């Protein structure tokens, strides 16, 4: 028999485990009530009847607060189940934090999350080879193919994510959510910087996003602390022009997005942070007045970007990149006229 008949709460109501993902919890409840292979209709019937699941939605986004998370940062129910093999060995339940798109490595055990687990009915392609069911997988299968990140990436994910994960494990959910907001915010800004770097560097197949970010953070010595002061400190350390441009654009986009669909980012003073970066940027450029002579149209000793490009014989976009990234030593930039 595979149908759930009760209209009220199920008879067996197992306790939800620490940070247990609501979707897989519902399947666990259904099984403990005698349904061997639960269907989505079974879990949806249970959902409104239990206090811990009543406020959840079938989309399967993780929930730690009433405030929503940016859509790019979370995956829906149909996306692959990911897990840390060691966490799963300790307790066989899927954690909500593994539903964050940018959370790739368990910062407690320093293992990259795996994605070969399936919950039948909910997971697409669960009949594929090398897929194991949540309820049937052995310890050996949990560990098959597990990998640790390289030391550089490990340092990076620890700085960005260990505070959040520690708070979750210690059951300090408000504290965890505050850290999560800042971690995601820094991830978004780092992503903007990464798009600037990628414009000029060849694609590197097989290199994960967090490895790329770890390299970038180390190369430019960006400080990463997951609180508001840490975010300010990060912005103050952006000295490369192209990085600043991308981050300013991303912050502007965020302001527009938050006005349409407020998320946890609305708790941060985005407009002030953007202004802070903008003012820092203006200060770092020599004012044109200092170098302009009244009888010259062009600052003495300076050439326009286009002239510099034709002198060197390369596209002006490349010259701008070389200057913005401090690759040419001793270059001074003057803002002249409107250009």
* Residues contributing to the site for Zn ion (CB under 5 A): 84, 86-87, 106, 108-109
H helices of 47-113, in order, are 85-90
Nearer to Zn ion, 86 or 245 (CB): 86
Task: Give the tokens for residue 139.
Answer: 């310890």
Shortest CA distance to 5 belongs to which of 33, 29, 32? 33
- The distance of closest approach from Cβ of residue 105 to Zn ion in the complex, given in angstroms and rounded to an integer, is 9
Alpha helices in 199-324 (DSSP H): 209-220, 228-236, 241-260, 270-284, 288-291, 305-312, 316-324
Q: What is the dihedral of CA 27, 29, 32, 36, to 10 degrees?
A: -20
If the CB atoms of residues 13 and 109 are measured against Zn ion, the closer one turns out to be 109
> Least separation, in Å, of the C-beta of 301 and Zn ion?
59
Quick one: 84 or 273, whose CB is closer to Zn ion? Answer: 84
Considering the complex, what minimum distance in angstroms separates the CB of residue 166 from Zn ion? Answer: 12
Cβ 144 to Zn ion shortest distance, Å: 16
Please, which residue, 106 or 247, has the CB nearer to Zn ion?
A: 106
**Which stretches within the chain are classed as H helix?**
22-32, 40-46, 85-90, 139-143, 151-169, 173-198, 209-220, 228-236, 241-260, 270-284, 288-291, 305-312, 316-324
DSSP reduced 3-state for 233: helix
| Cβ atoms of residues 77 and 111 within 8 Å | no
Q: How far is the CB of 11 from Zn ion (least distance, A)?
A: 33
CB of 110 to Zn ion, least distance (A): 8
Measure the CA–CA gap between 184 and 253, rounded to whole angstroms.
15
Half-sphere exposure of 47 (CA within 13 A, CB side): 17
Q: Which is nearer to Zn ion, 109 or 335 (CB)?
A: 109
- Residue 43 or 183 having the CB closest to Zn ion: 183
Q: Which is nearer to Zn ion, 50 or 169 (CB)?
A: 169
Residue keyed to tokens 């129910």: 77
CB of 226: closest distance to Zn ion in angstroms?
19
């Amino acid at each position: 028999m595979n149908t759930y008949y009760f209209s009220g709460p199920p008879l067996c109501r197992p306790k939800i485990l620490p940070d247990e993902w609501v979707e897989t919890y519902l399947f666990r409840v259904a099984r403990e009530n005698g349904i061997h292979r639960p269907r989505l209709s079974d879990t949806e019937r249970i959902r409104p009847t239990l206090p811990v699941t009543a406020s959840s939605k079938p989309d399967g986004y993780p929930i730690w607060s009433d405030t929503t998370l940016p859509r790019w940062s979370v995956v829906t129910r149909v996306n692959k189940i990911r897990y840390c093999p060691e966490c799963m060995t300790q307790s066989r339940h899927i954690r909500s934090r593994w539903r964050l798109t940018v959370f790739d490595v368990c910062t407690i055990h320093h293992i990259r999350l795996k994605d070969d687990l399936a919950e039948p009915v909910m997971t697409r392609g669960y009949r594929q080879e090398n897929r194991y069911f949540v309820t049937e997988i052995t310890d050996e299968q949990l560990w098959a193919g597990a990998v640790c990140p390289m030391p550089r990436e490990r340092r990076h994910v620890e700085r960005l994510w260990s505070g959040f994960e520690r708070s979750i494990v210690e059951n300090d959910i408000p504290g965890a959510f505050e850290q999560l907001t800042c971690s995601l915010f820094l991830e978004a800004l780092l992503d903007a910087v990464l798009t600037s770097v990628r414009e000029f560097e060849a694609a590197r197949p097989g290199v994960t996003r967090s490895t790329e970010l770890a390299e970038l953070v180390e190369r430019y010595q960006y400080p990463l602390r997951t609180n508001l002061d840490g975010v300010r400190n990060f912005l103050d350390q952006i000295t490369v022009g192209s990085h600043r441009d991308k981050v300013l654009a991303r912050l502007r986009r965020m302001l527009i997005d938050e006005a349409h669909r407020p998320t946890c980012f609305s708790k941060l003073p985005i407009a002030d942070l953007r202004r802070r970066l903008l003012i820092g940027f203006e200060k770092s450029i020599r004012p044109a007045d200092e170098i302009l002579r009244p009888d010259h149209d062009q600052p003495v000793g300076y050439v326009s970007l286009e002239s510099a490009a034709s002198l060197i014989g390369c596209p002006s976009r490349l010259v701008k990149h070389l200057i913005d990234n401090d690759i040419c030593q001793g270059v001074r930039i003057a803002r002249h006229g409107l250009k």
